[in-house]
């Protein structure tokens, strides 16, 4: 995949997945105590990736990370960065620390995965930026991990899974939200998670496809919680990104939130502006997957209904495969809007320098 579309501008790919590190790869970043603990317990590593993206599912794209770590990183560079010096890719390595009961163990694994990932970024390509793992079930410990790494220039985002025991607007998460805000890091709510709760509001589905499609409902619930529980009032500089959860549902969600807020706002008097205003101000969404016909008028109508050019960010979602081409969507947008979606919105969100002036197309 080229890192320059036909407008000639570079890309910031805000959702790229690294191969899940093995226990052996994490060993150098764990203390002797935790290496012994893992060996004694027979811990073989997280099941987070295979649980969220079963190997047999076409959307999972596991084979694109096969062939060893070095080959996987070459694929990341080739598909997500190309030759553009201005290109950037925000990488993550979900390790499922949200499933781990012992708080010290989940924290130790978070630290190890993050240190491993930062080393991988440094050794692979200076254009790779990191989205760090934290244990959201322990917000105080998550805040400590954010504070530990926030000074590293490669750290641009806090990774948390969409599925949780309580939605992120709940006040139990205030230490986590406060740490993200004071360190200037967006909270990246990403597809998946292993919270032990059903992935739907009406219980456990029978098939993976139900869970996969239903993740959009989980994302909507998270945004509703952040607005109505007052997170954006309490943390006015908090930024949130919604990653791999779709986005064409946003206009209808904003319409419904605004409508109900007008009718029953006395329950949440701290929400002083229409919910859609908070979402446009504080939230950005990755454009992959595109849950609409990519070449029909519907997707353009949806973009117009969002009501802002500042909300969407380019993403390939590498290595996951979808039946939509995010570059083709960029090519349909007006040049100024395409530039924002391709680079400008993510640059503002992640604190990346402005892109140089567009050059002659290389696509």
Residue 197 · residue 165 · CB < 8 Å: yes
pLDDT at residue number 322: 80
Range 272-286 average pLDDT: 98
Residue 286 has pLDDT above 70, yes or no: yes
What's the mean per-residue pLDDT of the chain? 89
What is the token pair recorded at 61?
Answer: 């794209």
pLDDT at residue number 291: 84
Residue 343 has pLDDT above 60, yes or no: yes
Torsion of Cα atoms, 36 then 37 then 38 then 43, to 10°:
150
Percent of the chain past pLDDT 90, that is, above it, reads 64
List b or e across 247-285, with b for residues whose CB sees 16 or more CB atoms inside 10 angstroms: bbbbbebbeebeeebeeeeeeeeebeebbbbbbbebbbb
Per-range mean pLDDT, top range of 64-73, 309-318, 321-330: 309-318
- Taking alpha carbons only, the member of 168, 171, 181 closest to residue 223 is 168
Range 35-45 average pLDDT: 91
Residue 4 has pLDDT above 50, yes or no: no
What is the token pair recorded at 104?
Answer: 């010290």
Q: Which CATH class is domain 12-350?
A: alpha beta
Range 333-348 average pLDDT: 95
Helices (H), the chain: 23-26, 32-41, 48-52, 69-80, 103-124, 139-149, 174-182, 208-228, 231-234, 250-264, 275-282, 297-306, 326-332, 335-339, 345-350
> Does residue 124 or residue 32 have the better pLDDT?
32
pLDDT at residue number 192: 85
Residue 7 · residue 361 · CB < 8 Å: yes
How far from the centroid of its chain's Cα atoms is residue 196's Cα?
20
pLDDT at residue number 72: 83
Q: What is the pTM of this model?
A: 0.91
Could you report the per-residue pLDDT of 101-149, keeping only the tens digit for each?
899 999 999 999 999 999 999 998 999 999 999 999 999 999 999 999 9
How far from the centroid of its chain's Cα atoms is residue 348's Cα?
16
User: What span, in angstroms and rounded, lies between the C-alpha atoms of 171 and 183?
Assistant: 19
User: What span, in angstroms and rounded, lies between the C-alpha atoms of 177 and 173?
Assistant: 6
What is the token pair recorded at 166?
Answer: 């309580």
Torsion region of 355: left, alpha or beta (phi above 0 gives left; psi -120 to 50 gives alpha): beta
Residue 231 has pLDDT above 80, yes or no: yes
User: What span, in angstroms and rounded, lies between the C-alpha atoms of 330 and 240?
Assistant: 22
**Long-range contact pairs involving 22-30 (C-beta distance under 8 Å, separation at least 24):** 25/69, 25/116, 26/109, 26/112, 26/113, 26/116, 29/111, 29/112, 29/113, 29/115, 29/116, 30/108, 30/109, 30/112
User: What span, in angstroms and rounded, lies between the C-alpha atoms of 129 and 118?
Assistant: 8
User: What span, in angstroms and rounded, lies between the C-alpha atoms of 243 and 222?
Assistant: 12
SS3 350: helix
> Does residue 29 or residue 328 have the better pLDDT?
29
Ordered by start, the domain boundaries in the chain are 12-350
Residue 57 has pLDDT above 80, yes or no: no
- Angle, helices 174-182/139-149, rounded to nearest 10 degrees: 10
Range 195-199 average pLDDT: 78
Could you report the per-residue pLDDT of 66-83, keeping only the tens digit for each?
657 788 888 888 888 888
What is the token pair recorded at 175?
Answer: 């230490």
């Amino acid at each position: 995949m080229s890192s320059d579309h036909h407008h000639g501008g570079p890309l910031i790919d805000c959702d790229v997945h690294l191969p899940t590190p093995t226990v052996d790869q994490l060993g150098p970043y764990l203390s002797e105590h935790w290496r012994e603990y893992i060996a004694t317990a027979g811990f073989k590593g997280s099941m987070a990736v295979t649980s969220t993206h079963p190997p047999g599912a076409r959307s999972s794209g596991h084979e694109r990370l096969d062939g060893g770590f070095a080959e996987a990183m070459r694929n990341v560079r080739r598909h997500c960065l190309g030759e553009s010096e201005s290109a950037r890719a925000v990488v993550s390595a979900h390790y499922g620390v949200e499933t781990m009961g012992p708080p010290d163990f989940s924290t130790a694994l978070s630290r190890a995965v993050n240190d491993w990932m930062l080393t991988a970024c440094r050794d692979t390509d200076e254009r790779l930026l990191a989205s760090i793992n934290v244990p959201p079930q322990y917000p105080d410990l998550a805040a400590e991990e954010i504070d530990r790494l926030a000074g590293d220039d490669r750290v641009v985002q806090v990774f948390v899974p969409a599925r949780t025991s309580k939605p992120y607007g709940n006040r139990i998460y205030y230490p986590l939200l406060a740490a993200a805000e004071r360190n200037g890091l967006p909270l990246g709510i990403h597809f998946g998670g292993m919270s032990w709760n059903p992935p739907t509001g009406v219980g456990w589905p029978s098939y993976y496809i139900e869970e996969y499609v239903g993740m959009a409902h989980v994302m909507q619930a998270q945004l509703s919680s952040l607005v109505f529980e007052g997170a954006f009032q309490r943390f006015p500089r908090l930024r949130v990104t919604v990653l791999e959860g779709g986005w064409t549902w946003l206009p209808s969600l904003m319409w419904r939130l605004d409508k109900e807020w007008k009718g029953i706002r006395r329950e949440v008097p701290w929400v002083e502006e229409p919910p859609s205003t908070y979402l446009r101000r504080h939230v950005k969404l990755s454009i992959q997957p595109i849950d609409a016909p990519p070449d029909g008028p519907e997707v353009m109508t949806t973009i117009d209904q969002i009501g802002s050019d500042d909300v969407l960010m380019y993403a390939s979602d590498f290595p996951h495969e979808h039946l939509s081409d995010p570059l083709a969507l960029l090519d349909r947008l007006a040049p100024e809007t395409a530039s924002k979606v391709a680079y400008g919105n993510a640059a503002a969100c992640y604190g990346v320098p402005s892109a140089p002036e567009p050059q002659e197309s290389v696509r």
